[in-house]
Amino acid sequence: MLDDRATTDTTGDTPVRLGILISGRGSNCAAIAQAIADGKLKGCEIAIVICNVTGAPGIEAARKFGMPVVTLEGRGREQRDHEEALLALLKKYRVEVVCLAGYRRVLSARFVRNWKGRMLNSHPSLLPSFPGFNATQQALEYGVRIAGCTVHFVEEWVDAGAIILQHAVEVLDSDTEETLASRVLAEQHRAYPEAIARVLSGEYEAVGRRYLRLGKVEAVPPMRSQEAVADTASITAEN
C-alpha cells in the first residue's frame, strides 16, 4: 500500500527515514548508526534494518543498537516475491532512502528503477576497477598500489551507478587479503555516513555521471506518487 507519508520531506525538520539492507555482519550499518548517534550524520534516522539471511550476525548487532530489525529470508524464494515483500516492508516503515550495506542479492532493474537517486551502495574498491565479488582479492591479484572504496547510487547494472564519493587506501607490501580488506572496510565506515550526508545535504547534483556540489538544489528526489501507485498496481495485477 502506498502511504502518503512516503513522500520525502527534506525541507522541514523531520529526519529522512533510512532503510538499511544487510546480509552479513552489518558493520556498515553499525557505522551509519554510530555516525547518527555521534551527531556526525544529521537529518536522518534508521527506520528499519532488513536482513535477507536468517541468523546473520548483523541482526544481533542492529538490535544492540536499538534499531528495528526484520529478517526477510531470501533463500529459496523467487526474486519477484522477495522484492514484493521487501517493497511492502520499506513502505510500511516509510523508508525514503535505501542503503545497501553488504547486501548480497542483486535487485531487479524493475525494483531499482523505482528508487532512482534514493538507493545507495558501498563497494570495497575504487570503481570502475574490481566490480562484483571479492574486490579486495581482485585488487591484490592485479597488483594495484592504491585500493579504496566507493559509495554510489544503485542503478540497474551492478556497481555501475553514479559515484557519490571514493576514498583511497594505500596497499602495503605486507598486505594480505585480510589486512587490506580490514583497512578498506574501516574506510568504508567513514565514507558511507559522509556519502549519505552529501545526498541529504541538498547541495549536490548529478551532472552526467558526476555528482557535484553546486549549491542548493533539491536533495533526495521526492517519490513520485503516481509512479509509485502505478508500480504497486502492476505488482498486484501480475499476481
Residues designated catalytic: 123
Say if residues 21 and 99 touch (Cβ distance below 8 Å). Answer: yes
- Report the alpha-carbon distance of residue 219 to residue 29 in Å, rounded: 22
Number of DSSP helices (H) and strands (E) in the chain, helices first: 7, 9
Q: Give the three cell numbers for residue 160.
A: 555501475
**Which residues in 114-133 contact a copy of itself (CB under 8 A)?**
126-130
Choose, by CB under 8 A, the member of 37, 45, 68, 142 that binds a copy of itself.
142
Taking CB under 8 A as the rule, which mask of x and - marks residues 215-234 in contact with a copy of itself?
--------------------
- Pairing state of beta strands 16-22 and 210-213? unpaired
Per CB under 8 A, the list member of 165, 186, 220, 223 interacting with a copy of itself is 165
The interface region with a copy of itself, picked from 15-23, 93-101, 208-216, 219-227 by CB under 8 A, is 208-216
Nearer to a copy of itself, 75 or 145 (CB): 145
Minimum separation from the CB atom of position 168 to a copy of itself (A): 4
**Binding of a copy of itself at residue 178 (CB under 8 A)?**
no
201 near a copy of itself, rule: CB under 8 A: no
The smaller minimum CB distance to a copy of itself, of residues 49 and 163, is found at: 163
Figure out which of the listed residues 30, 31, 211, 219 binds a copy of itself, where binding follows CB under 8 A: 211
Cis peptide before 128 (omega within 30 of 0): yes
Taking the complex as a whole, the smallest distance from the CB of residue 216 to a copy of itself amounts, in Å, to 14
Measured at the alpha carbon of residue 106, what is the angle toward residues 103 and 110, in degrees to the nearest 5? 125
Tell me which residues touch a copy of itself (CB under 8 A): 126-130, 140-146, 148, 150, 162-163, 165-168, 173, 208-214
